[in-house]
Chains A and B, each alone.
Chain A
Amino acid sequence: MNWLAIWVTFKLACLTAGVLLVVGLPIAYWLTFSKWRWKFIVESVVALPLVLPPTVLGFYILVAIGPHSPVGRFYSDVIGHPLPFTFEGLLLASILYSLPFAVQPFAAAFAQVDRRLIETSWTLGVSKLKTFFRLIAPLSTAGLITGAVLSFAHTLGEFGVVLMVGGNIEGETRTVSIDIYDDVQALNYAGAAKTALLLLAVSYGVLLLVYAMNRKVWAVWPQR
């Protein structure tokens, strides 16, 4: 097994989930509580990676961070090297690609929190930010973990975006799914099978965790 690819993938998935936990919270909060009438436009943008072919998303990200775009030029001026085909570029793409997998469970959990609890907190002199950390977040734990875990799992298996933005650089942007593809191309079915099984097991384990956590009752059969 290509342990380096596994390490790169694991690092990418952890960082993506971590960044999304930070970036996704305010977006989800805003999507849940804003009364802005054009909110659905932003909602649609956030959900876009769900339906867009990864190659299309990857293509636009590649163009956006490439040397011909202001963003790409600014990055290479400041950091000293261009963003495409680096781990950082891949991370950025992963974050965008997994955004709905984090934001939607977050927003769904926030929407479940009784409005009157939040309002009562405000009348007790507690600011909106503190109300979030003291009340909304603890009441949304399952949704927060679900969002983080789903974006982690989703990043583990991404292929199209990685190929478009990251390329296939050993130790830098070669992830597990690309490694499997390479193995198959080289007719190394045994190697591909091992890696695929690992990915299957991890994905299944992660989903088990999510579904178990979102059960209200822990008993296997209903109590009533």
Chain B
Amino acid sequence: MAAALTVDCRKTFPGRFTTAAQLTLPLDPPRVLILFGPSGSGKTTLVRCLAGLEWPEEGRIQFGSTTWVDAASNIRLSPQVRRIGYMPQDYALFPTHTVAGNIEYGLSDLPAEARRERVRELIALLQLQGLEQAKPTQLSGGQQQRVALARAIARQPQLLLLDEPLSALDAPTRAKLCGELRTLLKQLAIPAMVVTHDWAEALTLGDVIAVMSVGQILQVGSPQEVFSRPANAEVAQIVGIETVVQGQVVANDNGLATVLVNGTTLKGLGADVSGSAVYVCIRAEDVLLEQVGSGVTSARNHLSGPVTEMLPQGVLMTVTVDCGFPLRAMITRGAREELGLETGSVVVAAIKAGAVHLVSRSG
């Protein structure tokens, strides 16, 4: 059996729901797994179980050939010996230590010279030059995040656990650091688990996404799979983005990007996009359906194609249009009757450029 992280455990806090997670993350090649879900869904509890900070009352956690937790035979490996890099929400930098002191905190078993060398490496890697002697309170949010990352990876952990690594930052910093974090995770090639409730972060950082809600893992799959083909209505509601397809940015004119998706050209907002490979994300409620030849609108994208599927959802319907890629639109039943939509009828889907979200793809 190839090395993997296998989790199958239950943890209950009095007065809360039970977090019961089953999960397998192959360790080779190292992947980034996203724990995705609304706040309070048990993501942090699961990460804390993996860090050794919570003890599941049932089940096992196996990392490669090492058993971290086995409730049945009372095995509980302490956090100290798991060789993990854990970054809690809000970073928990040690206020009594400088930036360099924080980074070298876990390296005390190295000889002094090797320790200094490692700190120098990490300072350079995370662009913290000049801040070595600063105290955490003197740093900006983005700098704090980088110090916390440096500290977490200093001991070359075998698993990285990042709990909401970007949520403490303001929006512009977050977008910038999200791209940096992706590059860093690729560069480090350490298996990682990242907790987030932000779909753009999930798509940017993740190789695999596990969707969590009320303590359960509802679906595990590639980002595209989870977003475009949610396993059930609950997952669909949590991810909230009905169309996620891969595309290539062919031009970027002052933030208005032209994207090629399977032969179809789309205009979208791409100010934050780096590189040409992107996920194109469109919410179903942002898509208008029109009859063919009904005139000019302000929408930048008019894509025509046949209706391939219609799913009633209460007073609404989700209509899938094949315009080179499956595009989902949300319309009312009344609109469907007016348009005379049937499976196979050809329609035009209009989407404003602002509703076409582009997320840089990892790897």
Q: B-contacting residues of A (Cβ < 8 Å)?
A: 114, 116-117, 119-127, 130, 134-135, 138-139
Would you list which residues of chain B between 76 and 92 have a CB under 8 Å from chain A?
Answer: 78-86, 88, 90, 92
B-side interface residues, number (CB < 8 Å): 25
Q: A-contacting residues of B (Cβ < 8 Å)?
A: 51-53, 78-86, 88, 90, 92, 94-96, 105-106, 108-109, 151, 154-155
B96→A123 contact, CB < 8 A: no
B94→A122 contact, CB < 8 A: no
Considering residues A120, A123, A127, which has the most beta carbons from chain B within 10 angstroms of its beta carbon?
A: A123
Which listed residue, B92, B108, B154, touches A116 by the CB 8 Å rule?
B92
| A160 → B minimal CB distance (Å) | 41
Which listed residue, B78, B94, B154, touches A135 by the CB 8 Å rule?
B94
Nearest 4 interchain pairs by C-beta = A124-B106, A123-B86, A116-B92, A122-B79
B96→A138 contact, CB < 8 A: yes
State the total of A-B contacts with C-beta under 8 angstroms: 56
Considering residues A119, A120, A121, which has the most beta carbons from chain B within 10 angstroms of its beta carbon?
A: A120
Considering residues B80, B82, B85, B108, which has the most beta carbons from chain A within 10 angstroms of its beta carbon?
A: B80
Known A124-B151, A124-B155, A135-B96; contact A119-B53, beta-carbon cutoff 8 A: yes
Which listed residue, A117, A123, A138, touches B79 by the CB 8 Å rule?
A123
CA A127 to CA B80, docked complex, whole Å:
7
Which listed residue, A117, A119, A123, A130, touches B94 by the CB 8 Å rule?
A117
CA A55 to CA B92, docked complex, whole Å:
48
| B171 → A minimal CB distance (Å) | 24
Q: Which residues of B contact A125 (CB under 8 A)?
A: 80-81, 83, 106, 109, 155
Could you show 24 A-B contacts with beta carbons less than 8 Å apart? A116-B90, A117-B92, A119-B51, A119-B79, A119-B88, A120-B88, A120-B92, A121-B105, A122-B78, A122-B80, A123-B52, A123-B80, A123-B84, A123-B85, A124-B106, A124-B151, A124-B154, A124-B155, A125-B83, A126-B105, A126-B108, A134-B105, A135-B94, A139-B96
| B85 → A minimal CB distance (Å) | 8
Q: Which residues of B contact A123 (CB under 8 A)?
A: 51-53, 79-80, 82, 84-86
Given A117-B92, A126-B105, 5 extra CB contacts under 8 A: A121-B105, A124-B151, A124-B154, A126-B80, A135-B96
CA A126 to CA B155, docked complex, whole Å:
12
- The residue on A at minimum CB distance from B48 is A119
Considering residues A114, A124, A127, which has the most beta carbons from chain B within 10 angstroms of its beta carbon?
A: A124
| A81 → B minimal CB distance (Å) | 47
Q: Which residues of A contact B86 (CB under 8 A)?
A: 119-120, 123
Q: Which residues of A contact B52 (CB under 8 A)?
A: 122-123
